[in-house]
Amino acid sequence: MPLYEYECVEPGKPPVVLELLRAAADADKPVPDPEGRGRVFRRRLSVFAAGGASGTAGGGHVHSGTCGCGKQPGSCGMG
């Protein structure tokens, strides 16, 4: 089963991200709030990096605007 990421964004708070293994047919179905607070989670584009030809960690990690880790370019040590 594929791994999907779901995000809840509340004003003034950092995003809450869940990773769930779900069947592709269920990818866009509603995700219940694990804390029962009624938050709404939406599927987001999952961004990951694979090792480059040299096999070094972070190979292929490219910053465009904000990093997939949520930090500014160059501040996470991977870009």
pLDDT at 68: 59
Question: Which of 58, 60, 64 minimizes the C-alpha distance to 77?
Answer: 58
Write out the chain's pLDDT in tens, 79 residues: 889 999 999 999 999 999 999 999 999 999 999 999 999 999 998 776 555 554 445 445 454 555 556 666 666 665 4
Segments making up each domain of the chain, as ranges: 3-44
3-state helix, strand, coil in the chain (%, to 5): 5, 20, 75
Say how far apart CA 42 and CA 6 lie, in whole Å: 5
Identify residue 6 by its one-letter amino acid code: Y
8-state DSSP, 77:
S
Angle formed at CA 25 by CA 20 and CA 31, multiple of 5 degrees: 40
